[in-house]
Structure 1
Amino acid sequence: MGLVVPFEDKNPDKGASIESLVSLVSADMERVNAMILSRTGSDVTMIPEVANHLISSGGKRLRPMLTLAMANLAGYHGDGHVKLAASVEFMHTATLLHDDVVDESDMRRGRIAARIRWGNQASVLVGDFLLGQAFKMMVEVGSLRALDILSSAAAVIAEGEVMQLAAAKNTETNEDEYLAVIRGKTAELFAAACEVGPVIAGRPKAEQAACRSYGMNLGIAFQLIDDALDYGGTSANLGKNVGDDFREGKITLPVVLSFRRGNDDERAFWRRALEENEASDSDLETAIAIMHRHRALEHTIERARHYGAIARDALELFPKSAIKDAMLETVDFCIARAH
């Protein structure tokens, strides 16, 4: 369904882009991309086929770019940030392969999901292969602290996914519980990606913590915008089918807000559609109408702006520079996706 719902919003972030960030890290990203290609190689032909299907599907590679940018911001001189950035992208790709199996998704980044083409087993196992390659590269960098950060993130991401599974179809989920889910499943990798740069640069703890805060809050903002887009975007800017969260019974912030603010009939609708899995195609339009009635999409975007502001403030510790300006604009870009 290609349903487009305009957000009632003043669009203060409209026009923001990540072009400055892309330009500033382009040379290092070429090295990261070359490393990604070399590390997906295997004598088992299905492994590079499945991995490259997703890796080459046009993702922005925002997380590895943030790793490179933070290393730049921290004044790092060396090659370790390239391997860590490739590790971050492999971790992200592995979670996408696994998520599509768990969620039974048909599309990913506008293409048929790998699980549809090669099956669930291949998707899970190739995801495991990529995680193994990620950890090999982390070890090669030789920073025990960076290895600790990224390996801990892998465990937290898995915890977040299990938390989401437990919360699925549970309309009683509250906002705090939902934020705990997205901190784990989405924001933790952003945080780790941003923290490892100043770590390998040997920067003070305060700077490491500031970079982690930037990544964590940017990640929360990023996921909240994704939540809103699922009910008010298009397949083109979402990279999957609009309404997939609704059809899969996912409890996201727009649902949490709509359920809490709704009347008895509206709550009965959410229970039937999500808990009892009796949603029809026309129910998606009803869900969106309820969300607009209670300003749930608008307020989800407001929440995203709140976390975006925290991310921006985290970088105030650093002097003005081109890379800092690019990272501040990246916050605006992540929120501007809602328009």
Structure 2
Amino acid sequence: MTDKLFQPFVLNEKITLNNRIAMAPLTRCMADDSLVPTQQMADYYARRADAGLIISEAAIIRPDGQGYPNTPGLFTQEQIAGWRKVTDAVHKNGGKIFAQLWHTGRVAHPHFWKGEFALGASAERLEGTVPRMRELSYVTPKPATKQDIAQLVKDYAQAAENAVEAGFDGIELHGANGYLLDQFMHYNVNTREDEYGGSAENMTRFPLEVVDAVADRIGMERTALRISPGAYFLLEGDPRDRQVFEYLLSELQTRDLAYLHIGLFDDTMEFDYLDGNATDFVRRNYTKTLMGVGGYSAETGEAAISNNRFDLVAIGRPFIANPDYIERVKSGQPVKAYSEEMLAELI
């Protein structure tokens, strides 16, 4: 390895990262019953502050966005105060941290907010049950009305403002992995016939409205986005999806996001309708700061960066197993293997 990974990287005029390695967002379900981050979470993130950027586990923008137990929120003052303990701890250790913001859409369950329905792009129900709560089967979502969508845009912007109040350096919109924003961008689950469905321009309208509303509230330089052009999780792909993401990327190219992040668990996957790898598809259509992810080590990530496949690399599970991941890689120490038993506690 060279030391390219460990050189500072300028995201924009306001944000410079200490290195090119990001800690990927990792859902841990460790908030308290009011969805407030705990001191244990603050300690967990602080131990990993030598990553160039920490992307937090996804934070819910409002109560009906919850799809998993004990995932933290960013919509109450108590939650904001809890996150402030996290960001202060990270900053004290010299790190930077973005809040990932999500609404899970049809993956949400009314059980969590004692509601009557979940919102989705269309009335397309997800088969299966809620992880960690197998007694809860998914429900048929209510298609979001135009009024619902307008309110959601406002709520994303407010959550972004809450994140800045909580001390985050920026936010990453979770527009990937089959959650609400992603649901609008795939034909498999978007069967709408209004201005939010049926064409590439319509199917990207809501996500782009959210990007622009958040950027207007906190600045484009603090706004990032994660996307999944290749559908593989919680929804299925459709050949027409390619046109949707080509249009989305052409629009994003005109904006100055902090970065664009690929939503993948395994970057070796290929998608026929993308002519292969999703990361390479995005790179062909987007020339600005791109974050790759999906099974990379520091060594393979650096090789991909050197080959101009992306600019930053996000590392996930190895950060769970190795709070000192950056130091281990720098000093040539072996990296501990991840195991599912490690999910039982925050170390």
TM over 0.5: no
Structure with more relative contact order (C-alpha pairs < 8 Å, separation 6 or more): 1
So what's the TM-score if we normalise by structure 2?
0.31
- Greater strand percent: which structure? 2
- Greater helix percent: which structure? 1
Larger of the two Rg values belongs to structure = 1
